[in-house]
Amino acid sequence: MAPPYQGKTWTYNGKSITWIAPLHCLLLVGYDDNNYIFNDPLRTQAPTYYSKESVELAYNGISKQAMVIKEKAKPTITQQEYDAGVRVVFHQGEYYLDYTIPLDNLFHNAKAQCEDHRCMSWEQYCEWLQEISSLLTPSVSQHTGMQLGSFSWFYGQVNHNKAWDIKREARWKEALPNVAYLGATNKGFLYKGKKISAEDAGNIMFGYTGRATGFSDVTLYWGGGVAAQGSLNNSEVNTPPYYGDDVNDHEMIQYGYELFQSEYPNYPEVGFEGIPVEKGLLAAIGDIILNPGT
């Protein structure tokens, strides 16, 4: 469709409409403590800052040149929240609570625990055994038992209502005692510039700590799908790209996994790759995910 020009007319619902090209058009796109910020979509230029006093004066003038949009209240935080790392930032025209610092601290502290329970591949296990003593002989049963131990420990941390299930208010308050809980699905705070919810933060932590514990991305996607479907037998849990999980949950897990990879590029290689295929191992891991205990 060609752009309109001065004097062009259309007929709409039986009525004639004539285009009168304006010289400029100011759209309110943001504000700070002293100014309203306007952008002119008809011109290529940087946003213009007008003092709040001048805008309000223009609006109250005879020709009603401007419209003042009521400001949204700027969030306030306590000293305890500030000390915990909570900040107030201006993002896309609004103020938000920024939880980047406290969530990073939580994730980094969790990573240290994951290292002690890291799942090892057969090669990693053999190297580890040799470091202990060259006289020790690698054992398949011992290696399998250690891998199951890693799965059991990890899901004992992240499963429903466990310590790292921070979408739940009680677990959030335990993990982040001086950071306000805004609800499970309310995308009301920022993390690294992303608007997310407590549920999103929990899924990011799942991906982040899962990689720290030595699991591949597909292993984690599969585990998320098994938990979401409540079954090992649903064909969706073996079907990429979402493996039976909610799309948003999957994307947050992926974000957490890739975040860890970017922060620790020299971390040991994945110790467990893909979806379990051996029937006994599959059943044991499925039982850990679906029946986490009390």
Reported as a single tens digit per residue, the pLDDT across 16-29 is 666 555 556 677 77
Q: 3-state class of 49 per DSSP?
A: strand
pLDDT for the residue 259: 98
Residue 80 has pLDDT above 60, yes or no: yes
Instruction: Give the pair of three-digit tokens for residue 157.
Output: 């941390």
**Mean pLDDT of the 100-127 span:** 97
- How many Cα atoms sit within 13 Å of 158 on the Cβ side? 31
267 bridge partner residues: none
- pLDDT, mean over the chain: 87
Residues 257, 206: contact at Cβ < 8 Å?
no
**CA nearest 138: which of 122, 160, 149?**
122
pLDDT for the residue 67: 52
The CA distance from 241 to 112, in Å, is 30
- Cα pseudo-dihedral 100, 105, 110, 113, rounded to 10: 160
Residues 226, 289: contact at Cβ < 8 Å?
yes
**Mean pLDDT of the 244-261 span:** 97
**CA nearest 209: which of 99, 70, 110?**
110
pTM for the whole structure: 0.76
Residues 29, 38: contact at Cβ < 8 Å?
yes
Mean pLDDT is lowest, of 58-62, 91-95, 153-157, 255-259, for 58-62
51 bridge partner residues: 35
Residues 216, 270: contact at Cβ < 8 Å?
yes
Residue scoring higher pLDDT (50 or 222): 222
Q: 3-state class of 218 per DSSP?
A: helix
The model's confidence at residue 281, banded by pLDDT at 50, 70 and 90, is confident
**Mean pLDDT of the 131-153 span:** 93
> What are the backbone dihedrals phi and psi of residue 194, each rounded to the nearest 5 degrees, phi first?
-100, 135
Q: The dihedral of CA 81, 83, 84, 90: what is its sign?
A: positive
Helix/strand/coil (H/E/C) assignment for every residue in 120-139: CCHHHHHHHHHHHCCCCCCC
Q: Which residues of 203-217 are buried (b: 16+ CB within 10 A; e: fewer)?
A: bbbbbbbbbbbbbbb
**Mean pLDDT of the 168-177 span:** 97
Mean pLDDT is lowest, of 45-59, 113-127, 181-195, 235-249, for 45-59
Mean pLDDT is lowest, of 48-52, 54-58, 154-158, 273-277, for 54-58
pLDDT for the residue 1: 46
Share of the chain above pLDDT 70, in %: 83
Residues 226, 239: contact at Cβ < 8 Å?
no
pLDDT for the residue 24: 60
Residue 147 has pLDDT above 90, yes or no: yes
Residue 10 has pLDDT above 90, yes or no: no
pLDDT for the residue 229: 92
pLDDT for the residue 18: 62
Helix ranges (DSSP H) in 116-216: 122-132, 140-158, 169-175, 198-212
**CA nearest 181: which of 190, 171, 169?**
169
The model's confidence at residue 52, banded by pLDDT at 50, 70 and 90, is confident
pLDDT for the residue 32: 79
